Each structure stands twice: as C-alpha cells, then as structure tokens.
C-alpha cells in the first residue's frame, strides 16, 4: 500500500493534509502533521489518548480551525480560498457546503434526541446546500432515509427516538445520518468507545461494509483487531505527530519506531500479536 | 396500572422469607440438578399493610376539612358579596384588561428577551455588553419606578420626534403625553422588565443544550438559522418552559402593579369598588379567585406544552391525568362494555 505517495488526478475523496498545526492555549496538540489518504482508501489512526488523533480528524471538516498548514479534498482547500498569495477564510455558508461532502460520526453519537431515527437521517438532505446538487424534497429524503436505515439494519426502528435505542443502534443511526448526504469522505471519531463490549461488533460490521463501498474512510479507534482487518493504512500518532504509518501488516507485526512498539506492547492482546 | 399487573408486582414483594419456607435440601452447587424449593404457585398473595399511612391520611384529611369548614361557616368571609361581584360587568372588564396586559407584555417581553439572549451569546463584545447592561438596569430598578418613569416621560422629554440626528429635519413629531397613555406606559414598563428576566431564562435554556448537538448539526451542513430553530430551541425549551411559566404567572399578578397608573385592570377595579362599598376582604377575594382561575388554566397549558417538548427526552411518556382517569374508569367501571382507553 502506497498511501503516502501523491496520487495521480484524484477522482473522489482524496484527502491531503499538509503540515497541520493546532494549539489549544499553550499546548500544541498537532505539531505539523502531513497525511495523504487515497480516494476510497481506509486510514485508521491509532495512538495513546491525547496524541491529537481526534483533533486531526476534526480539522478535516473544519470543526477545528488549523493554526498552520492546510488540508485539501480533491485538491480543494478546506475552510479557505486561495486568492493571489493569500488564503481567505470562507464564510460559514461555504464551509457548511464543504462539510456536506464529509460525513462525521462521533464518539457520543450526538443524535438529535427530540427527533426520531428517521427524522435524524432525513433532516440534513432537506435543508443543507450541497455543491452541484438540488436539495431533496421531504418525501424523497424520507424514502432515502429508510433505505439507509435498512442498510444499517434498523428499518423497523425508524420511528423510535434515540433514547429508545441501544448504544449500538444509536451509533448505526448516526452512521446512516452521516451517509444521508452521500459524502465522499467519512470521519469516525472513536465510534465504538462509548459502547458496551457486546455492542461494538454490530457497529464495526456496518463500518466494515462501508470500507468496500469506495467512500474514503478515516477512522480513529482503539479497536486494534478491527484496524488490522479493515485498514489499508494504519497511522500511529503520538504527542501531536505521526510517528509511523504503513500497512496493518507493517505497523502491527513489524513496527520500526520504539514508541510504536512500546504502545502496541501495551494495547495488543497476545492473541492479536501474531 | 391494571389490577392484574398490580397483583404481579405485589407477588414479587411479598415472597415468603427464607425463614418461613420449608428447609430446602442440597447445597447451592448441585441446586440446578436437585431443585428442592417448595412450590408456591397455589399460595394466595396478601398485600403489605401500611397502618401509619392511614393515620397520616386521616390527620391531613381532618386538617383539610377544618379549613374548608371555617371558610364555609365564618360569615365574615361574606361569600354572598364575593358571588355578587365575581361576574359583575366592571370586574369582568378589569379582568379582560389584565389578560390583555399579560398577553401583550408577555409576548413582547419574551420576543425581546430572545433577541437579548442571542445578543448575549453572540461573538460581538458590543452586543454582549449592551444585552448585559439592559438586563442589569431593568433587573435593578423596581418595576414601580419604571412604570412611573415611563408614565412621566413627558416631563423629561416634552416631544418625541423621528428625524435626521443633528439637523432640523423632522419626519414625525408628537407630544410625549399623547404617545404614552396609561396603557402604553403599562405595556412598556412590563415588557422591558419581562424582557430582562426572560433573556436570562432563554439564555440558560440555550446553554443547557449539549455542545455536541451544535457540532453534529454543523458537521451535517445544516444552516445556522435551522440549527437554532430545529435543533437547539426545541431542546432548550425543556429547560426554559418551567421557569418561563413561572414568569408568566408572576406577570399575571404583576400586572396589578399598574394600579399606580390608575389603569383599570382587575386589581384597580376591585380597589375602586371596595373604596366605595367598604367590603374590602370579599372584593380582594374576588380578584384573588380570578388570579387563581387564570393560573390554573395556565398550569394546564404548561403541562401539555412541557409534555410536547419532552418528546424523545424520556423513553416512554407517562399518561396524562386525563388519560389515567379514563383508563381507571375503563378498567373499574360498573359497565364492563365501555373499554375505550
């Protein structure tokens, strides 16, 4: 896997992160991170907590503004517009438009509790402006919403409110909601960390299925077995930097950096450590 | 709860203790194989007795009866006078004025309060400080003073005009005393005061909504206005409503303060009457009873509006008192054919 090499003319969902820096107060959480994810690729970011994984993920859809460096999607800058030799910050309306091409799934689901599962999924397609697409009618959004709920195995719970669903079911609704705008890229921020162990797999199965769909996936997770299974690039981050990246085979079985090795020796159960 | 379900629930609670039960043989380890527990399935369930609950109920019932009796039997309450004035034309006219003042200043107050709350939460330091100062001033001045100030605005500014500042161009000019009637002064005073309080209530409600909700909405590309109205406000309403209804109920009675402007709402009307007839207590009772009626109606509204906004906040909505009553009569009614719950 050669995800780090620059890709030829990208079709759909090429993510290029270049020298991204971000500080919260005096603490620099991203210290010049560069990463390329191919269209349709699956990149899994692992690393100790506080290493900047989630922050990196949140900069990709501009939920977090970068202090330095830049991010492009299919060659187009995220959050900024280049005019002359300056980067002009985009207005919120434009940023919202860009975000419709990037779906995001949160650790705590963040479903809208006062809307049913179907209403959660069908909300954005009706009101969000998508570049080059007309907004959907309500009926059309509901029809598509039911399709997506069917895809995550929850068609029969369409009228349930999030609190009436289990954690795993809520996260599957959240995935359906993220898919509703047909994004090029899907970001997963520790999608199974808030789940009971027996509910983790139902969510991972849905993500596994997405991994073959041609959508670019960037996943932050602590599920190492899943990472090994689904990733074509594994990225190990520590202290705001990418320490090492490569195929799951390389990173899990033959890590080169001592920091990577010491991390995996703590988190990998012997069964996984072939 | 249906009576069948009740019995099931009780049977759990009244299971005989180990001491009562015949001794079971065999250790816990081989319990699965040789089950020695006696068969209780033919036993009759006896509900637990709560004698002290009955004593408490009796004491309270006695107290309630004593109060009711004294209200009914003491001739000084003059219930006849109360009944005579309760629906008198002048009193009803005053009541309408009270309702009008409450509705207008309530609605205007909350609209202005919403704007002030948004200003307070905005990123502009000027908007934040203007909103803060507004609340500060109107929460620190007594309503009575505000009311008299607005009514006497003509003393401070003889004329009110609209024109280009620092020039002599005037589009419109009017005597302040003509513009600010008693009604206008009352509405102005009540509205601005209400806005200062409701701004804080609405702001508190908005702050109570989890930040993740806004993030999720922003990540989905939902436009800002839609985010506020569809995602944040419906959730904020749960925190806003109980306090907002407190405020509105307070406002109903708060309108009585406009008697200082000799504005003939309910309280002022009653005062005028008892100054003439000297039946002070019965007439105050007339006004009080009307306030009770308004508050009761508002409380019913509050219950159903809160219920509407608790959609999704609880797993299953509890039955309303009406639904409970209907269910009770459906299951306990003498005629068993009417089972339309």
Locate the domains of chain A by residue range: 1-101+185-191+218-274, 103-182
pLDDT at position B290 is 95
**Looking up tokens 């460096």, which residue turns up?**
A69
pLDDT at position B33 is 59
pLDDT digits (tens, 9 = 90+) for A117-149: 999 999 999 999 988 888 889 999 999 999 999
Closest alpha carbon to A176 in A102, A120, A106: A120
**Contacts A93 to B, Cβ<8 Å:** 223
pLDDT band at A8 (very low <50, low <70, confident <90, very high): very low
Yes or no, beta carbons of B220 and A61 under 8 Å apart: no
**Contacts A96 to B, Cβ<8 Å:** 218, 221-223
Cα separations in angstroms, A58 against A172, A221, B191, B327: 20, 14, 44, 52
CATH code of the domain occupying A1-101+185-191+218-274 = 3.40.50.300
**CB-CB: which of B215, B221, B224 is closest to A124?**
B221
**CB-CB: which of A61, A114, A181 is closest to B311?**
A114
Yes or no, beta carbons of B231 and A93 under 8 Å apart: no
pLDDT digits (tens, 9 = 90+) for B84-107: 999 999 999 999 999 999 999 999
Closest alpha carbon to B217 in B237, B232, B203, B202: B232
Q: How many CB atoms lie within 10 A of CB B145?
A: 10
Yes or no, beta carbons of B221 and A181 under 8 Å apart: yes
**DSSP assignments along A98-130, one per residue:** HHTTEEEE-TT----TTS-HHHHHHHHHHH--B
The third-level CATH classification (topology) of the domain covering B86-139+182-332 is MetI-like fold (1.10.3720)
Closest alpha carbon to A230 in A247, A217, A211, A253: A211
Closest alpha carbon to A71 in A55, A83, A60: A60
The partner residues of B277 in beta bridges, in order of sequence, read none
Burial bucket for residue B169 (CB in 10 Å: 0-12, 13-18, 19+):
exposed
Enter the ipTM: 0.86
Burial bucket for residue B337 (CB in 10 Å: 0-12, 13-18, 19+):
exposed
CB pairs under 8 A between A and B: 79
Span of A160-164, A174-178, B301-305, B309-313 with lowest mean pLDDT: B309-313
Nearest CA in chain A to B310: A114
**Residue B312 zone, left/alpha/beta (φ > 0; ψ -120 to 50; rest):** left
**Looking up tokens 């999608």, which residue turns up?**
A191
Q: Is residue A272 scored above 70 in pLDDT?
A: no
Contact A38, A14 (CB under 8 A): yes
pLDDT at position B166 is 80
Nearest CA in chain A to B314: A163
pLDDT at position A135 is 86
pLDDT at position B40 is 87
pLDDT at position B161 is 79
Substitution target from A127, A130, A180 for chain B, most B beta carbons within 10 A: A127
Please tell me the pTM assigned to this model.
0.78
pLDDT digits (tens, 9 = 90+) for A191-209: 999 999 889 999 999 999 9
Enumerate residues 6+ apart whose C-beta is below 8 A from A151.
Answer: A176, A179, A206, A209
Q: Is residue A188 scored above 70 in pLDDT?
A: yes
Q: What is the mean pLDDT of chain A?
A: 90
pLDDT at position A12 is 81
pLDDT at position B156 is 84
Yes or no, beta carbons of B216 and A181 under 8 Å apart: no
Domain regions of chain B by residue span: 86-139+182-332
Q: How far apart are the first and last CA of chain A?
A: 20
Weakly modelled stretches of chain B, pLDDT under 50: 1-19, 21-28, 30-31, 338-339, 341
């Amino acid at each position: 896997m050669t995800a780090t090499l620059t890709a030829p003319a990208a079709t759909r969902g090429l993510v290029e992160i270049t020298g991204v820096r971000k500080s919260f107060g005096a603490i620099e959480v991203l210290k010049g991170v560069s990463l390329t994810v191919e269209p349709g690729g699956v990149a899994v970011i692992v690393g100790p907590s506080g290493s900047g994984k989630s922050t990196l993920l949140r900069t990709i859809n501009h939920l977090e503004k970068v202090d330095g460096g830049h991010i492009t999607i299919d060659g187009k800058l995220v959050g900024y517009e280049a005019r002359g030799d300056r980067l002009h910050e985009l207005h919120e309306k434009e940023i919202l438009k860009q975000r419709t091409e990037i779906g995001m799934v949160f650790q705590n689901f963040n479903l809208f509790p006062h809307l049913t599962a179907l209403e959660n999924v069908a909300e954005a397609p009706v009101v969000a402006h998508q570049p080059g697409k007309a907004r959907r009618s309500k009926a059309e959004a509901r029809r598509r919403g039911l399709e997506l709920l069917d895809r995550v195995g929850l068609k029969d719970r369409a009228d349930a409110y999030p609190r009436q669903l289990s954690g795993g079911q809520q996260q599957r609704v959240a995935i359906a909601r993220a898919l509703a705008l047909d994004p090029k890229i899907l970001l997963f921020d520790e999608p199974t960390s808030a789940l009971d162990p027996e509910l983790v797999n139902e969510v991972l199965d849905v993500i596994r299925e997405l991994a073959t769909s041609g959508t670019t996936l960037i996943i932050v997770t602590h599920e190492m077995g899943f990472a090994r299974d689904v990733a074509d690039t594994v990225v190990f981050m520590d202290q705001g930097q990418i320490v090492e990246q490569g195929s799951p085979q390389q990173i899990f079985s033959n890590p080169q950096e001592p920091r990577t090795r010491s991390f995996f020796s703590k988190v990998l159960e012997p069964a996984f450590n072939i | 709860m249906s009576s069948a379900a009740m019995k099931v629930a009780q049977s759990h609670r009244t299971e005989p203790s180990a001491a009562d039960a015949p001794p079971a043989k065999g250790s816990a380890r081989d319990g699965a194989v040789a089950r020695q527990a006696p068969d209780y399935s033919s036993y009759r369930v006896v509900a637990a007795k709560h004698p002290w609950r009955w004593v408490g109920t009796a004491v309270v019932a006695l107290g309630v009866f004593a109060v009711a009796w004294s209200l009914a039997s003491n001739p000084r309450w003059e219930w006849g006078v109360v009944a005579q004035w309760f629906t008198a034309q002048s009193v009803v006219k005053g009541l309408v004025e009270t309702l009008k003042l409450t509705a207008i200043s309530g609605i205007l107050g909350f609209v202005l309060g919403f704007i002030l709350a948004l200003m307070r939460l905005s990123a502009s330091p000027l908007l934040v400080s203007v909103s803060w100062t507004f609340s500060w001033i109107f929460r620190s001045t007594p309503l009575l003073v505000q009311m008299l100030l607005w009514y006497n605005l003509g003393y401070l500014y003889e004329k009110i005009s609209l024109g280009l500042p620092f020039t002599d161009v005037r589009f419109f000019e009017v005597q302040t005393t003509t513009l600010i009637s008693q009604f206008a002064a009352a509405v102005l005073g009540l509205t601005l005061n209400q806005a200062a309080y409701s701004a804080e209530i609405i702001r508190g409600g908005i702050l109570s909504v989890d930040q993740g909700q806004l993030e999720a909405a922003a990540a989905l590309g939902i436009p800002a206005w839609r985010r506020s109205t569809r995602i944040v406000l419906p959730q904020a309403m749960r925190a806003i409503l109980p306090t907002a209804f407190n405020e509105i109920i307070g406002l109903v009675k708060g309108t009585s303060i406009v008697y200082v402007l000799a504005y003939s709402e309910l309280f002022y009307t009653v005062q005028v009457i008892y100054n003439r007839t000297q039946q002070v207590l019965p007439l105050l009772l007339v006004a009080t009873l009307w306030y009770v009626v308004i508050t009761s109606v508002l409380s019913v509204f509050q219950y159903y509006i809160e219920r509407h906004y608790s959609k999704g906040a609880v797993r299953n909505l509890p039955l309303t008192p009406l639904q409970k009553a209907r269910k009770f009569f459906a299951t306990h009614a003498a005629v068993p054919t009417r089972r339309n719950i």
